[in-house]
Amino acid sequence: MPHRRRLGPMNSTPRRVENLHTDKGKVPVYATGVVEQPWDDYRPADHGVWRQLYERQRALLVGRACDEFLQAQDAMGMTPDRIPKFADINRVLERATGWTLIGVEGLLPELDFFDHLARRRFPVTWWIRRPDQVDYIEEPDLFHDLFGHVPLLMNPLFADYMQAYGRGGLKAHAIGPEALQQLTRLYWYTVEFGLIRQHDGLRIYGSGIVSSKGESLYCLDSPAPNRIGFDLERIMRTRYRIDTYQKTYFVIDSFAQLMDATGPDFTPIYARLAAQPAIAAGAVLPGDRVLQRGSGEGWAADGDV
């Protein structure tokens, strides 16, 4: 965790306000205000981390990430040279789909996060991981948020999906914790860890994958995980992993399919699913459209969230 990190002066230290104890363990909660990206405070080591991660992932993702993702990254003018300025990205993004990036200190409380998305504002953590954290960091940093999440906001369908998710989150929050849990699983298995079937094979669109070297390889190449066709209610019942690669990836055929499947009112679905048992992260069910049944090799025996 980037706890006692600090490369910058005190005024650019992320303000962590408390730790929340949740079913996912201890979760840091940051000051919720929108902050100006302190771009001038980034040091050469910060830009170096960006460059290293950017070059490594781009080399890996050609032929692995979906075309929309790769094209959008280029269109937004992201380069390995230096950490992008949010203001520069915003000029392009706003014109494309009406989304804007806002700088934040780190993970936001759920309700704040949903509210931003519902207004087409995407919160991006302003600080980047340290050089010794390039391979793994437990919480989202600038690289995950900006490199991983922002490119697909250039895509009109995905841009609408993210806003609908924000609105849906506000609604689920009012319904109760079980609804929220089901919705969070949908986010996890689509926005963070989704795969898409493209004309030439399976590709990645999930942000949690594209920002991870190991999982970018594992999710497509390894015989271990299940790859199963997207099924909304199945996903909303499926537990997931936060400390290992996923045991199961769900595959959409197109962003249009994702929009169509998530368009209906979830209220009755939440109620119906609340009465059904949750599904283990690695389970394969009789009704699944199985693209690959995982070998299960190397799976942790417990620890599904």
Residues near ligand PHE (CB under 6 A) are 161, 164-165, 168, 171, 186, 262-266
**Is residue 231 a contact partner of residue 284, using CB atoms and an 8 Å limit?**
no
SS3 at position 290: strand
Minimum CB distance to ligand PHE, residue 264 (Å): 6
Is 211 catalytic? The answer is yes
Amino acid at 303: G
5 Cβ contact partners less than 8 Å away, ≥ 6 residues apart: 127, 130
Of 68, 105, 192, 215, the active-site residue reads 192
262 binds, among ligand PHE, Fe ion, none (CB under 5 to 8 A by kind): ligand PHE
In the bound complex, which residue of the shown chain has the CB atom lying closest to ligand PHE?
Answer: 168
Of 68, 116, 149, 216, the active-site residue reads 149
171 binds, among Fe ion, ligand PHE, none (CB under 5 to 8 A by kind): ligand PHE
214 binds, among Fe ion, ligand PHE, none (CB under 5 to 8 A by kind): none
Minimum CB distance to ligand PHE, residue 67 (Å): 22
304 phi, psi to nearest 5 deg: -65, 140
- DSSP line for 194-226: -EEEETTEEEE--HHHHT-HHHHHHHHH-SSSE
Of 68, 116, 144, 215, the active-site residue reads 144
**Is residue 173 a contact partner of residue 114, using CB atoms and an 8 Å limit?**
yes
Site string for Fe ion, 202-241 (x = CB under 5 A): -----x----------------------------------
Strands 195-198 and 226-229, sheet pairing: unpaired
Minimum CB distance to ligand PHE, residue 91 (Å): 27
Strands 16-22 and 25-30, sheet pairing: antiparallel
Minimum CB distance to ligand PHE, residue 26 (Å): 27
Is 12 catalytic? The answer is no
Q: Three-state secondary structure along 251-268?
A: EECCHHHHHHHHCCCCHH
265 binds, among ligand PHE, Fe ion, none (CB under 5 to 8 A by kind): ligand PHE
- 104 or 232, CB closer to ligand PHE? 232
* Integer Cα distance of 123 and 121 in angstroms: 6
Q: Which alpha helices (DSSP H) does the chain contain, by range?
A: 44-61, 67-75, 86-97, 110-118, 142, 156-175, 177-187, 207-210, 213-221, 232-236, 255-262, 267-274
Is 47 catalytic? The answer is no
252 phi, psi to nearest 5 deg: -95, 160
- 64 or 116, CB closer to ligand PHE? 116
Is 21 catalytic? The answer is no
120 binds, among ligand PHE, Fe ion, none (CB under 5 to 8 A by kind): none
- 108 or 172, CB closer to ligand PHE? 172
- 50 or 189, CB closer to ligand PHE? 189
In the bound complex, which residue of the shown chain has the CB atom lying closest to Fe ion?
Answer: 207
Catalytic residues: 144, 149, 192, 211
What does the binding site for Fe ion look like in residue numbers (CB under 5 A)? 207
